[in-house]
């Protein structure tokens, strides 16, 4: 199926406000735009069924609970999980913090956690905090920017103490798509827990938690056209049942006495307090939108876009342009990270256009909106020999015209700042 970009764009109110002459949005790895269907689902809840969930036996309370429970079922099915394996959280960051806080209780306090250098800070810092809090050791393995992480990479970093491995399925800075299924299977054979950061994969390709052989998996709603402040933690039921709760309070209990309490069944065990009801409903609407397009089609569209980007890079021959990540579109998401710098030196601390200036000028020159900075991936950024890069990232409402506008802007910046 060929994606009709113009038809898709018609569902997004922001593209009615801004024509392509005004804004070309290429910061989708940070957050995506929201279709009318998502906004209307949230508005409809507030207008028609606004009540708290799981307690009220009156009409709107039952309607709210039904909408919330349906959202859990719909989103869980989207990743091949059961509803009782899906915990609603604020974002992937909170999901990974739950993993880093609670999973070491099962792994043991003297255990090691293995992560990679390409990880987002959300899959680094929580484990470092856990290292200080409970004494586990966090170990970071190297990875090459032009290829995937393999089982061989993982295996040579394992020790007798390795009890948890936590990896991103798709890098938010390199665009590398890691094939994690074999890694998950072999880790389970060794009795090692496997955690997956899927913040950059669930919105862009078909993800099945059973095929990944993972114990826990995290993703965010705002990166897949859902609202901000809602995300999900998938957990194998037996793992969620064994891990301790993350927070205490209402909703996560069955009974409370003066000296003790009993916990609610999963997933409510991890959902203390009033949840983000409207966020779950909005995310479910985003899932419906993606299901209509088909995740295979989403992935193919982005694969074609990154291929066109790499081809245009070769065609335009901007001398100062240096990009990072795999050159094979089959293992790369729609993420294009780059710099404009003088010379061929690997180090770019000196003669280069600061990514903040690239981002500012790209907007001023062509209305192209891109990200700049370390992209919450400082270990990988520093390993590339720099402090910061610029990043363009694509989604279903982008096409060749947007890629061409990006390179038009880069050529103009090159002439102004480098030549």
Q: What is the pLDDT of residues 202-242, one digit of tens each?
A: 999 999 999 999 999 999 999 999 999 999 999 999 999 99
pLDDT tens across 148-182, in order?
A: 999 999 999 999 999 999 999 999 999 999 999 99
Phi and psi torsions of 147, nearest 5°: -145, 170
Asked if the model's pLDDT at residue 344 lies above 70, the reply is no
**Rounded Cα–Cα distance for residues 375 and 355 (Å):** 11
pLDDT tens across 246-285, in order?
A: 999 999 999 999 999 999 999 999 999 999 999 999 999 9
pLDDT of 346: 53
Asked if the model's pLDDT at residue 409 lies above 60, the reply is yes
267 preceded by a cis bond (ω within 30 of 0): yes
The answer to whether 414 and 340 have CB atoms below 8 angstroms apart is yes
For residue 63, the tally of other CB atoms under 10 A from its CB is 17
Average pLDDT rounded to a whole number, residues 188-201: 98
pLDDT of 418: 78
**C-alpha distances out from residue 126 to 95, 209, 232, 240, 364, Å:** 10, 22, 17, 18, 37
Provide, rounded to the nearest whole percent, the portion of the chain with pLDDT above 90.
90
pLDDT of 350: 54
pLDDT of 347: 53
The answer to whether 263 and 269 have CB atoms below 8 angstroms apart is yes
Asked if the model's pLDDT at residue 55 lies above 90, the reply is no
What is the distance of C-alpha 315 from the center of its chain?
31
**Which has the closest alpha carbon to 371: 339, 325, 349, 408?**
339
Phi and psi torsions of 298, nearest 5°: -60, -50
Asked if the model's pLDDT at residue 69 lies above 70, the reply is yes
pLDDT of 143: 86
**Mean pLDDT value across the chain:** 95
Phi and psi torsions of 83, nearest 5°: -55, -35
Band (324; pLDDT cuts 50, 70, 90)? very high
**Rounded Cα–Cα distance for residues 395 and 170 (Å):** 15
Q: How many CA atoms lie within 13 A of 315 on its CB side?
A: 10
Q: Does 376 qualify as catalytic in the annotation?
A: yes
Phi and psi torsions of 159, nearest 5°: -130, 180
pLDDT of 342: 72
Band (19; pLDDT cuts 50, 70, 90)? confident
Average pLDDT rounded to a whole number, residues 349-362: 87
Asked if the model's pLDDT at residue 1 lies above 80, the reply is no
**Which has the closest alpha carbon to 3: 399, 410, 418?**
399
**Rounded Cα–Cα distance for residues 145 and 117 (Å):** 10
pLDDT tens across 289-316, in order?
A: 999 999 999 999 999 999 999 999 999 9
Q: How many CA atoms lie within 13 A of 177 on its CB side?
A: 22
pLDDT of 419: 63
pLDDT of 110: 87
The answer to whether 112 and 166 have CB atoms below 8 angstroms apart is no
Lookup: tokens for 319: 């001398």
Q: Domains in the chain, ordered, with CATH?
A: 5-30+294-417 (3.90.1150.10), 38-292 (3.40.640.10)
**Rounded Cα–Cα distance for residues 130 and 157 (Å):** 20
pLDDT of 26: 98
Asked if the model's pLDDT at residue 349 lies above 60, the reply is no
**Rounded Cα–Cα distance for residues 124 and 397 (Å):** 31
């Amino acid at each position: 199926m060929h994606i009709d970009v113009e038809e898709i764009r018609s569902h997004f109110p922001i593209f009615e406000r801004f024509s392509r002459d005004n804004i070309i949005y290429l910061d989708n790895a940070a957050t995506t735009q929201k279709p009318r269907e998502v906004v209307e689902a949230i508005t409809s809840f507030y207008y028609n069924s606004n009540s708290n969930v799981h307690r009220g036996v009156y009409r709107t309370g039952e309607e709210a609970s039904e909408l919330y429970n349906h959202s859990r079922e719909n989103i869980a099915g989207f990743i091949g999980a059961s509803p009782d394996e899906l915990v609603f959280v604020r974002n992937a960051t909170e999901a990974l913090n739950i993993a880093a806080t609670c999973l070491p209780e099962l792994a043991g306090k003297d255990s090691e956690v293995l992560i990679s250098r390409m990880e987002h800070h959300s899959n680094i810092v929580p484990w470092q905090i856990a290292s200080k809090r409970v004494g586990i050791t966090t170990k970071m393995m190297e990875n090459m920017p032009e290829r995937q992480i393999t089982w061989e990479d993982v295996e040579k970093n394992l020790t007798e103490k390795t009890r948890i491995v936590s990896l991103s399925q798709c890098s938010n800075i390199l665009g590398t798509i890691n094939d994690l299924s074999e890694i998950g299977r072999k880790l389970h054979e060794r009795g090692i827990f496997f955690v997956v950061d899927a913040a950059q994969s669930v919105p862009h390709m078909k993800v099945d938690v059973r095929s990944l052989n993972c114990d826990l998996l995290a993703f965010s709603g705002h990166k897949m056209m859902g609202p901000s402040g809602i995300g999900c933690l998938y957990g194998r039921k037996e793992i969620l049942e064994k891990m301790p709760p993350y927070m205490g309070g209402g909703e996560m209990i069955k009974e409370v006495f003066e000296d003790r309490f009993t916990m609610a069944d999963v997933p409510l065990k991890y959902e203390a307090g009033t949840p983000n009801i409207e966020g779950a409903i909005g995310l479910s609407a985003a899932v419906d939108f993606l299901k209509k397009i088909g995740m295979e089609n989403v992935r193919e569209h982005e694969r074609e876009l990154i291929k066109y980007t790499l081809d245009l890079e070769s065609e335009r021959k901007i001398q100062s342009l240096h990009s990072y990540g795999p050159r094979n579109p089959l293992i790369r998401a729609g993420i294009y990270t780059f710099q404009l710098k003088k010379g061929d030196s690997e180090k770019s601390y000196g003669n280069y256009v600061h990514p903040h200036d690239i981002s500012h000028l790209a907007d001023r020159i062509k209305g192209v909106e891109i990200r700049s900075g370390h992209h919450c991936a400082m270990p990988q950024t520093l390993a590339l020999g720099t402090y910061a890069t610029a990043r363009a990232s694509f989604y279903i409402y982008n096409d060749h015209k947007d890629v061409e506008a990006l390179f038009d802007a880069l050529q103009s910046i090159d002439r102004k700042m480098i030549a």
